[in-house]
Amino acid sequence: MFLYQIRNDLALKLVSIQDADETFQLVDKNRAYLRKWLPWVDSSKTVEDTKASFLSFLKSYAEQKSLTTLIVYQGKIVGVASFNKIDWTNKIAYMGYWLGSEYQGKGIMTDVAKALTTYAFNELNLNRVEIHAAVENKKSRAIPERLGFIEEGTVRQTEWLYDHYVDHVIYGMLKSEWEQKI
**11 pLDDT more than 70:** yes
pLDDT tens across 156-173, in order?
A: 999 999 999 999 999 999
This prediction's pTM: 0.95
Whether 145 contacts 151, CB under 8 Å: yes
37, 159, 166 from 163: Cα distances, Å: 12, 11, 10
pLDDT tens across 85-143, in order?
A: 999 999 999 999 999 999 999 999 999 999 999 999 999 999 999 999 999 999 999 99
CB atoms under 10 Å from CB of 179, counted, come to 11
DSSP state of 39: T
DSSP strand E in the chain: where? 3-7, 10-14, 67-73, 76-87, 92-99, 128-134, 150-161, 164-174
What does the pLDDT read at residue 1?
60
Residue 73, strand partner residues: 10, 76
Please state the domain extents for the chain: 3-129
Its sign, for the CA torsion 77, 141, 156, 35, is: positive
Which CATH architecture fits 3-129?
A: 3-Layer(aba) Sandwich (3.40)
What does the pLDDT read at residue 14?
97
5, 79, 159 from 2: Cα distances, Å: 10, 16, 30
pLDDT tens across 61-74, in order?
A: 999 999 999 999 99
What does the pLDDT read at residue 83?
98
30, 38, 97, 156 from 167: Cα distances, Å: 23, 13, 17, 4
Confidence of residue 181 (pLDDT cuts 50, 70, 90): confident
